[in-house]
Amino acid sequence: MAEIAQNQKEQVEAVKAGLRTGASARREALSARYRADAARAAAAHLFDEAPFARGDTIACYWPIRDEIDCKPVLTKLMDDMWRVCLPVVGEAETGLTFRLWEPGQPLYPAGFGTLEPAGSAPLATPDVVLMPLLGFDSTGTRLGYGGGYYDRTLESLDRRPRLVGYAFSAQEISEIPREPHDVPLDILITEIGVTRFNS
């Protein structure tokens, strides 16, 4: 029985690996002009829908590679004096921690080409997590990079934050296999609009 379960897990991982390859290629193919326009449009949708309330702590991310640029969101949140935190990558088995990025404080180079607050910045528990992703489907299943950082992090939190996927519409996939540890998105925001899921 255990061998069957292991075989099924390996099959699912093989499917996900293929989906990641295709999703990466579609995202990489988007032009610089389209990316810039899409980032502005997605930010406008985010603030129009406001999936957070005053007093919430909002976790964003510093974009890497060809992820949709969320710096317009970060800039507005910081200018409007929201509590913003960014993920800090620890050991592979521990997932992420979140540290507040306070006005006027610098960010420092971290793993994977991203930036993070200083190690002395206060730890935070987010109410809302704006999540990067490689792909998404119509049920709110998120395809990540395969490292499991967000999965382990969400499992370790005392309470589940609202999960907001942030992506280009071209990253949609018809169906992504959902495993027991995969936490679905509550909301998806792209340059063409907002989708809410019945998670």
Beta strand residue intervals within 3-161, DSSP E: 57-59, 83-89, 96-100, 108-109, 115-116, 128-131, 135-136, 142-143
Range of the domain at 190: 2-196
Q: What distance in Å separates the CA atoms of residue 35 and residue 49, rounded to the nearest whole number?
A: 21
Instruction: State the CATH number of the domain containing residue 97.
Output: 3.40.50.10420
Tokens 């996927």 correspond to 165
Please state the domain count of the chain. 1
pLDDT tens, the chain, 199 aa long: 555 567 777 888 889 999 999 999 999 999 999 999 999 999 999 999 888 898 999 999 999 889 999 999 999 999 999 999 999 887 656 678 899 998 889 899 887 778 889 989 999 999 999 999 999 999 999 998 877 778 888 888 888 999 999 999 999 999 999 888 888 999 999 999 999 997 5
pTM for the model:
0.89
d(CA 62, CA 144): 15
Cβ count near 131 (within 10 Å): 24
* CA dist 176 → 8, 44, 152 (Å): 15, 28, 19
How far the first Cα of the chain sits from its last, in Å, is 30
